Amino acid sequence: MKNIVVLVSGGGTNLQALIDAEKRGEIHNGKITCVISSKEDAYALERAANNGIKSLVLPRKEYSDNESYGKAMLELLKAENADLIILAGFMTILDKSVINAFPNKIINVHPALIPSFCGVGYYGLRVHEEALRKGVKVTGATVHFVNEIADDGAIILQGTSEVRYGDTPEILQRRVMEEVEWKLLPKAASLFCEDRIFIEDGKAYIK
């Protein structure tokens, strides 16, 4: 059984989707063993508590740079014996020391079809604002491995949502979460825990 550590910063609806999937028996060979938040007031922490999952707070604001934050995070992840780390609305760039310690073992969900609307500065609602500004007709979400470049790691799963006339960033965000993120993130977690994802030429494939 693999230990899944989920990193969060906010509302934690993706964490909830993972918890619900685990309860339904849909995360094969994996168990959420710890939730780590970069913010002490993240609602995701309540979700962990409500479901009897251990949680820790590592406040980003108490560290002067990414490097020192990464060092502290790495210690926690090692102490928790993390096999899979899931960034579920984690709004901090992870230092390379963490990424190098867990190659292709960190998964992120990004609320757009990478390589669109991604990279530094594209997070949360901002991603949907940009999609609406551009007028794309289809958007979606991507689950991918994390490497040293923001939103650049191997793509594991992608799914689409329509953009509709009159959408606001909030409406579009909700649709993408419901239709794509909350389904694909637990699915990718399960595939990982079952050792069904492999990398070839820097790209991820499912066995």
Name which of 38 and 81 has its Cβ closer to ligand GAR. Answer: 38
**In the complex, minimum distance from the CB of residue 2 to ligand GAR, in angstroms, rounded to a whole number:** 21
**Contact assessment for residue 206 and residue 194, using Cβ atoms and an 8 Å cutoff:** no
Find the Cα–Cα–Cα–Cα dihedral 139, 143, 144, 148, rounded to 10°: 80
For residue 130, state whether it binds ligand GAR (rule: CB under 6 A).
Answer: no
**In the complex, minimum distance from the CB of residue 207 to ligand GAR, in angstroms, rounded to a whole number:** 26
**Distant-in-sequence, close-in-space partners of 86: CB < 8 Å, separation ≥ 6:** 4, 5, 6, 7, 18, 106, 107, 108, 109, 185, 189
For residue 88, state whether it binds ligand GAR (rule: CB under 6 A).
Answer: yes
CA nearest to 35, candidates 48, 22, 52: 48
d(CA 171, CA 166): 9
Find the Cα–Cα–Cα–Cα dihedral 23, 27, 30, 34, rounded to 10°: -50
Name which of 122 and 192 has its Cβ closer to ligand GAR. Answer: 122
Build a one-symbol-per-residue string for 7-46: x at contacts with ligand GAR by CB under 6 A, - elsewhere: ---xxxxx--------------------------------
Q: In what helix (H) or strand (E) does residue 157 lie, and over which residues does it extend?
A: strand 155-162
Q: Which amino acid is at 194?
A: E
Tell which one of 30, 70, 111, 153 touches ligand GAR (CB under 6 A).
111
Tell which one of 2, 39, 47, 110 touches ligand GAR (CB under 6 A).
110
Known active-site residue 110: yes
Q: Which residue in the block uniquely carries the two structure tokens 């990478």? A: 114
Where does this chain touch ligand GAR (CB under 6 A) — which range of 20-28, 70-78, 106-114, 156-164? 106-114
For residue 89, state whether it binds ligand GAR (rule: CB under 6 A).
Answer: yes
For residue 161, state whether it binds ligand GAR (rule: CB under 6 A).
Answer: no
Q: Which residues bind ligand GAR (CB under 6 A)?
A: 10-14, 88-89, 109-111, 123-124, 127, 173, 177, 181
Task: Give the residue numbers annotated as catalytic, written as ranges.
Answer: 110
